[in-house]
């Protein structure tokens, strides 16, 4: 009887999970499918379950590759901003997190308290004064204006500290005896050991920056400076005639992330569930 | 320790500047200096500036103190509407995004389920889409016309079409659905990680005692999930109060009857679009107070739990 019960359970849970997963994937599949529909029809009907399959074609993609210049401007803006954000925030945050983990110094606990405290303060509360600062520094509508507030990410500092706590400190003493400077020890010995955490944070910061919306929306003012989310959002009007760029462009924004996801799945999971290190 | 000091001494003798920069007293501060600088300039200063601004009328080239006027203006029907919307949104997303992931994680972790990696990856997939792209899909699926996917399903079930973006209840439904769709997979991963910490002997012991599946879940699994549950609830609450994009993507700057207005949306509307920064800052200060009070209450509640555990 026990065996029979567990085989029923097996069927129920597997089929149930399959249904849940299909529901989760359904919107993605619909997006993909709809990107091959004529944009004028898509604008009229929305994403439909029943539509004329014979009308599917590549026109939206052909248009976006041949004519939608502003889309690729947004794409470049997003790429540049994300790349610079990743490099700078990893460089600085790793340094800070490392120091908080391996050194003993006055104020260490205070600094760490600040890190945790900033984690709790929503960025949205600071955005108006920050915007005013950007106006004063004349950084409105510039890459730097978008990037600057993201350069030292408290969540990354926190993550790097937790990771660096597990580094072999004996290596540092050995290197010191060999005459290495503290900076040499960090860049040549310890930083390479932190590679997995760098991977996870690169994904976290990259995804966050690639998808960031509110702050770029405030800082970036002209069409040629927009990032992808801001640019695509401007196309989301009921009167728009740009649904070809909107739908095919949306698919194209997800593709680089999905490719990265397939290759670096482990880092993605670590990066997106970074808070888990606490529990 | 003695060797370290002697090395420092010899280095200092060889080159005082390098010796100073390389001393173990100075190095940590150089390493944390990016954080100190960014904390002072990009967090502390704006925070103070924001509080000051909330007592000012800020116009280009003309700033004056107006006392509590901004705060008196904040408590108006529109703000209450935004606060109510945000609170309902927080309650719904926190509830759904805690209970559903726990159940799904437990099922995924059980020995009954095959293809665990495939299921996990496909539930995680929506988290990779930005809110804007995800919102666009939802907007086109939940369109007003009979031909949009959601209404096609309703019609097929014999129900009438719904103007999704124009009713208060369906507007809230759209925002909550969008959030749940994107975050479900991530939260499942949190709970899956926590489930690995449950010692299997406990389940064996429960089996010997003849516990049912539900009893095992309730008395063995759930207590182990408490810390991660507290964590998930905390970030869900904070993210809920920060919500802006889920509303913006459906209605841009203004929704009919403000059915989609959130507190951050109100800050954006007043501070950026109306250029009334002092007023916007006052809303921000109130939002900060609300979040602090909630975090404080939560700290007391969870702190009490922790004392019991230790």
Q: Is residue A265 part of a domain?
A: yes
Higher-confidence residue of B12 and A89: namely: A89
Q: Is residue A91 part of a domain?
A: yes
Distance CA B309, CA A36 (A): 56
Q: Is residue A66 part of a domain?
A: yes
Distance CA B282, CA B300 (A): 27
Q: Is residue A200 part of a domain?
A: yes
* Residue that is written with structure tokens 């409105």 in the block: A140
Backbone angles phi, psi at B25, to 5 degrees: -80, -35
Mean pLDDT of chain B: 87
Answer yes or no: do A13 and B295 touch at CB < 8 A. no
Contact A183, B237 (CB under 8 A): no
Answer yes or no: do A49 and B228 touch at CB < 8 A. no
Backbone angles phi, psi at B185, to 5 degrees: -60, -40
A196 CB contacts (<8 Å, ≥6 apart)?
Answer: A163, A267, A270
Q: Where are the alpha helices (DSSP H) in chain A?
A: 2-34, 39-45, 59-66, 69-102, 108-120, 123-136, 143-147, 154-164, 170-177, 182-184, 191-193, 195-211, 214-219, 228-235, 243-263, 265-272
Question: Which one-letter DSSP state was computed for residue B42?
Answer: I
How many distinct structural domains can be found in chain A?
A: 1
Interface test with B, best of A17, A118, A220 (most B CBs within 10 A): A17
B208 CB contacts (<8 Å, ≥6 apart)?
Answer: none
**Helix H or strand E encompassing B64:** strand B62-65
- Give this prediction's pTM: 0.88
CATH (domain of A148)? 1.10.3720.10
Answer yes or no: do B272 and A218 touch at CB < 8 A. yes
SS3 A139: coil
Report the pLDDT value the prediction gives residue A141, as an integer from 0 to 100: 95
Quickly state the pLDDT bin for B96 (edges 50, 70, 90).
very high
Contact B215, B253 (CB under 8 A): no
- Residue B218's CB is within 10 A of a number of other CB atoms, namely 12
Contact A99, A109 (CB under 8 A): no
Question: Residue B62 forms beta bridges with which residues?
Answer: B59
**What is the domain extent for residue A152?**
62-277
SS3 A256: helix
Cα-trace Rg, chain A: 24
Higher-confidence residue of B21 and A88: namely: A88
Q: Is the confidence at residue B3, as pLDDT, over 60? A: no
Report the pLDDT value the prediction gives residue B262, as an integer from 0 to 100: 94
Q: Report the pLDDT averaged over residues B257-271.
A: 93
SS3 A38: coil
Q: Is residue A218 part of a domain?
A: yes
Answer yes or no: do B186 and A273 touch at CB < 8 A. yes
Contact B244, B13 (CB under 8 A): no
Measured in angstroms, the CA of B38 and the nearest CA of chain A are apart by 7
Q: Is the confidence at residue B2, as pLDDT, over 50? A: no
Distance CA B252, CA B246 (A): 10
Q: Is residue A179 part of a domain?
A: yes
Instruction: Give which of B114, B95, B62 is closest to A17, Cα–Cα.
Output: B114
Q: Is residue A264 part of a domain?
A: yes
Torsion of CA A198, A200, A202, A206, to 10 degrees: -170
Tell me which chain B residues have a C-beta less than 8 angstroms from the C-beta of A49: 149, 152-153
**Percent of chain B whose pLDDT exceeds 90:** 45
Q: What is the ipTM of this complex?
A: 0.87
B204-259 pLDDT per residue, tens: 888 888 888 888 888 888 888 888 888 889 889 988 999 999 999 999 878 888 99
Contact B219, B211 (CB under 8 A): yes
Contact A279, B227 (CB under 8 A): yes
Answer yes or no: do A24 and B104 touch at CB < 8 A. no
User: pLDDT in tens for each of the 279 residues of chain A?
Assistant: 556 777 888 888 889 899 999 999 999 999 999 899 988 888 888 888 877 788 888 888 988 888 878 899 999 999 999 999 999 999 999 999 999 999 999 989 999 988 888 887 888 889 999 999 999 999 999 999 999 998 888 888 988 998 898 888 888 888 988 888 889 999 999 999 888 888 888 888 888 899 999 999 999 999 999 999 999 998 887 666 788 888 999 999 988 888 887 777 777 777 666 654 433
Distance CA A98, CA A169 (A): 11
Q: For chain B, which residues make up each domain, given as ranges? A: 2-53, 73-309
B233 CB contacts (<8 Å, ≥6 apart)?
Answer: B94, B98, B298
Between A and B, how many residue pairs show a Cβ–Cβ distance under 8 A? Answer: 276
Question: Which one-letter DSSP state was computed for residue B244?
Answer: -
Interface test with B, best of A2, A46, A183 (most B CBs within 10 A): A46
Q: Is residue A4 part of a domain?
A: no
Q: What separation in angstroms does the CA of A28 have from each of A16, A24, A163, B143, B165?
A: 20, 8, 34, 17, 21
Write out the CATH class of domain B73-309.
mainly alpha
């Amino acid at each position: 009887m026990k065996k029979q019960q567990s085989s029923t359970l097996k069927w129920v849970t597997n089929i149930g999970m399959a249904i849940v997963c299909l529901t989760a994937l359904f919107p993605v599949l619909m997006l993909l499918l709809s990107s091959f529909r004529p944009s004028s029809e898509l604008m009229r009907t929305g994403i439909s379950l029943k539509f004329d399959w014979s009308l599917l074609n590549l026109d939206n993609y052909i248009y976006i590759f041949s004519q939608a210049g502003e889309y690729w401007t947004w794409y470049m803006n997003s790429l540049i901003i994300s790349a610079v954000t990743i490099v700078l925030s990893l460089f600085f945050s790793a340094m800070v997190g490392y120091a908080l983990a391996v050194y003993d110094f006055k104020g260490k606990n205070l600094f760490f308290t600040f890190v945790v405290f900033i984690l709790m303060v929503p960025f949205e509360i600071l955005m108006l004064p920050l915007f005013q600062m950007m106006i004063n520094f004349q950084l409105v509508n510039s890459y730097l204006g978008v990037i600057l507030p993201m350069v030292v990410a408290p969540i990354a500092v926190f993550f790097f500290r937790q990771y660096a706590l597990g580094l072999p400190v004996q290596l540092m003493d050995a290197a010191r005896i060999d005459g290495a400077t503290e900076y040499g020890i960090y860049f040549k010995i310890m930083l390479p050991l932190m590679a997995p955490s760098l991977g996870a944070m690169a994904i976290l910061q990259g995804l966050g920056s690639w998808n960031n919306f509110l702050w770029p929306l405030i800082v970036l003012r002209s069409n040629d400076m927009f990032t992808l989310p801001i640019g695509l959002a401007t196309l989301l009007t009921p009167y728009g005639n740009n649904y070809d760029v909107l739908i095919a462009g949306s698919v194209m924004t997800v593709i680089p992330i999905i490719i990265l996801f397939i290759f670096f799945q482990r880092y993605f999971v670590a990066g997106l569930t970074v808070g888990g290190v606490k529990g | 320790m003695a060797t370290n000091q002697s090395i420092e001494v010899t280095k200092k003798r060889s080159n005082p500047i390098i010796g100073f920069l390389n001393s173990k007293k100075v190095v940590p501060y150089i390493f944390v200096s990016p954080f100190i600088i960014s904390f002072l300039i990009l967090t502390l200063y704006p925070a103070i500036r924001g509080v000051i601004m909330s007592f000012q009328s800020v116009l280009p080239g003309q700033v004056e103190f107006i006392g509590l006027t901004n705060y008196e203006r904040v408590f108006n029907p529109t703000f209450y509407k935004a606060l109510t919307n945000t609170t309902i949104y927080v309650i719904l997303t926190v509830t759904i995004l805690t209970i559903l992931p726990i159940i799904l994680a437990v099922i995924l972790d059980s020995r009954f389920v095959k293809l665990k990696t495939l299921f996990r990856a496909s539930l995680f997939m929506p988290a990779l889409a930005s809110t804007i792209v995800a919102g666009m899909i939802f907007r086109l699926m939940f369109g007003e016309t009979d031909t949009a996917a959601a209404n096609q399903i309703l019609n097929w079930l014999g129900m009438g079409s719904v103007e999704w973006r124009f009713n208060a209840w369906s507007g809230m439904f759209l925002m909550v659905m969008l959030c749940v769709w994107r975050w479900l997979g991530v939260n499942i991963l949190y709970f899956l990680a926590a489930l690995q910490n449950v010692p299997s002997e406990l389940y064996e012991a429960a089996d010997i005692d003849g516990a049912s599946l539900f009893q095992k879940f309730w008395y063995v699994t759930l207590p182990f999930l408490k810390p991660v549950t507290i964590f998930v609830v905390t970030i869900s609450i904070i993210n809920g109060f920060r919500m802006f994009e889920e509303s913006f993507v459906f209605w841009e700057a203004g929704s009919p009857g403000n059915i989609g207005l959130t507190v951050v949306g109100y800050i954006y509307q007043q501070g950026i679009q109306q250029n009334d920064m002092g007023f916007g800052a006052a809303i921000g200060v109130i939002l900060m107070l609300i979040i602090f009070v909630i975090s404080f209450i939560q700290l007391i509640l969870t702190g009490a739990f922790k004392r019991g555990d230790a």
